[in-house]
């Protein structure tokens, strides 16, 4: 049905083809032994998971995230809960690997699918991590690059012997380097002082969250519809700072596609990806736009913490409370950051 929602079909996952992908790239999930089950909300009596900002979360909390990543990395590659398969989810949803019903390559980055897809992704990732840790209250840390105290890569990610490390990052952007939310793809570093950089970052946040997004549709991105283009148009925050932070972490000089973080197919391989996207998810919530009328029947597939294949729709993820998680407040210092 042209104009209708897209339903992801695992049986129609194929090898991504294209000049930007390695020859041997394969990112389809393991085949399930039975039909996917429909998503149901977690029990309201479950502990509320509070996602904390990495810069104030504390050593114990960050060590938990590290242990979760180590446990995921230790699972067999054929296990859908393994880090390898979790990273591949991102690849499958952004390379045209999935062909949806009705036929249209599934691409979650250039339309209103962006926020709900990534919310569902982090939701399952977090529950898998909690299950492996034996901690039902486990919550992923978020990288609050939009508040001054969070504008550096959290130290835990920069330790080369940690499972949180990724050797393919830009070495110039290791801490204490401040993030540049206006990082240009031509890889030129600006020469701002720290104060100027912080001010500029806050202004970018104000611009993308407030000034340029007076309408919900500008914030969310354009409708993704069967029979139309797979890239109808991304929302403001998706374009910047979301994309630029991917590029800023990646190393465009050493790797032409800026893998891992700077390339969609590889971004999930960097453990910082999930903390970056928890922040994006927090910004969606901060905008208090929980409704995405029209996008709601779009369905995605994920394996859950019991390795069951689950079909989840955009409608299912609109209410964080019902998903049993929340964000520890760090403020929104850019709310009024006009230049
Ligand atoms: Cu799915 Cu940050 O991209």
> What is the ipTM, given to two decimal places?
0.99
> Can you tell me the mean pLDDT for 121-127?
98
> Can you tell me the mean pLDDT for 85-113?
90
Q: How far is the CA of 239 from the centre of ligand 1 (A)?
A: 10
Gap between the Cα atoms of 307 and 49, Å rounded: 21
pLDDT reported for residue 289: 64
Gap between the Cα atoms of 78 and 280, Å rounded: 29
Residue 336 in any domain: the answer is no
Ligand 1 touching residue 246 (CB < 6 A): yes
Taking Cα atoms as reference points, which of 226, 232, 57, 85 lies closest to residue 156?
A: 57
| Residue 114 Cα: closest atom of ligand 1 | 1
Query: pLDDT class for 295, splitting at 50, 70, 90?
Result: low
Residue 334 in any domain: the answer is no
Ligand 1 touching residue 309 (CB < 6 A): no
CATH of the domain at 243: 1.10.1280.10
Share of the chain above pLDDT 70, in %: 96
Domain that holds residue 289: 10-327
Query: Residue of the nearest CA to atom 3 in ligand 1?
Result: 264
Residue 75 in any domain: the answer is yes
Res. 329: pLDDT tops 70: yes
| Residue 243 Cα: closest atom of ligand 1 | 2
> Can you tell me the mean pLDDT for 69-74?
98
Q: How far is the CA of 85 from the centre of ligand 1 (A)?
A: 16
Res. 189: pLDDT tops 90: no
| Residue 118 Cα: closest atom of ligand 1 | 1
pLDDT reported for residue 32: 84
pLDDT reported for residue 12: 83
Q: How far is the CA of 109 from the centre of ligand 1 (A)?
A: 7
pLDDT reported for residue 140: 98
pLDDT reported for residue 261: 98
User: Which pair of tokens denotes residue 238?
Assistant: 């998706």
Ligand 1 touching residue 277 (CB < 6 A): yes
Q: How far is the CA of 270 from the centre of ligand 1 (A)?
A: 12
Ligand 1 touching residue 220 (CB < 6 A): no
State how many domains the chain has. 1
Residue 230 in any domain: the answer is yes
Residue 206 in any domain: the answer is yes
Residue 320 in any domain: the answer is yes
Res. 16: pLDDT tops 60: yes
Query: pLDDT class for 79, splitting at 50, 70, 90?
Result: very high
Residue 98 in any domain: the answer is yes
pLDDT reported for residue 194: 96
Prediction pTM value = 0.95
Residue 4 in any domain: the answer is no
Ligand 1 touching residue 267 (CB < 6 A): yes
């Amino acid at each position: 049905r042209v104009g209708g929602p897209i339903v992801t079909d695992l049986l129609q996952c194929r090898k991504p083809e294209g000049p930007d992908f390695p020859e041997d790239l394969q990112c389809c999930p393991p085949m399930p032994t039975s039909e996917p089950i429909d998503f149901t909300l977690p029990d309201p009596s479950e502990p509320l998971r509070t996602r904390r900002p990495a810069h104030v979360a504390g050593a114990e909390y960050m060590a938990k995230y590290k242990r979760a990543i180590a446990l995921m990395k230790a699972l067999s590659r054929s296990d859908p809960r393994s880090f390898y398969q979790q990273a591949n989810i991102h690849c499958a949803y952004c390379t045209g690997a999935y062909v949806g019903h009705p036929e249209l390559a599934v691409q979650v980055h250039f339309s209103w699918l962006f926020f709900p897809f990534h919310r569902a992704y982090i939701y399952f990732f977090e529950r898998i991590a909690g299950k492996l840790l034996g901690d039902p209250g486990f919550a992923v840390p978020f990288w609050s690059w939009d508040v001054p105290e969070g504008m550096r890569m959290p130290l835990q990610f920069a330790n080369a012997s940690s499972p949180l490390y990724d050797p393919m990052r830009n070495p110039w952007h290791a801490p204490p380097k401040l993030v540049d939310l206006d990082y240009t793809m031509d890889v030129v570093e600006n020469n701002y002082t720290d104060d100027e950089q912080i001010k500029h970052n806050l202004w970018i946040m104000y611009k993308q969250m407030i000034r340029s997004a007076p309408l919900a549709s500008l914030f969310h991105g354009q409708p993704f519809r069967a029979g139309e283009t797979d890239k109808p148009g991304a929302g403001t925050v998706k374009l910047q700072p979301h994309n630029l932070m991917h590029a800023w972490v990646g190393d465009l000089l050493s790797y032409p596609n800026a893998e891992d973080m700077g390339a969609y197919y590889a971004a999930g391989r960097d453990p910082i990806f999930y903390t970056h996207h928890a922040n994006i998810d927090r910004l969606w919530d901060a905008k208090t736009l929980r409704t995405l009328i029209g996008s709601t029947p779009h369905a995605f597939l994920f394996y859950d913490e019991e390795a069951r294949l689950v079909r989840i729709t955009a409608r299912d993820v609109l209410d964080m409370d019902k998903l049993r998680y929340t964000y520890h407040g760090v403020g929104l210092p850019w709310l009024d950051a006009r230049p």
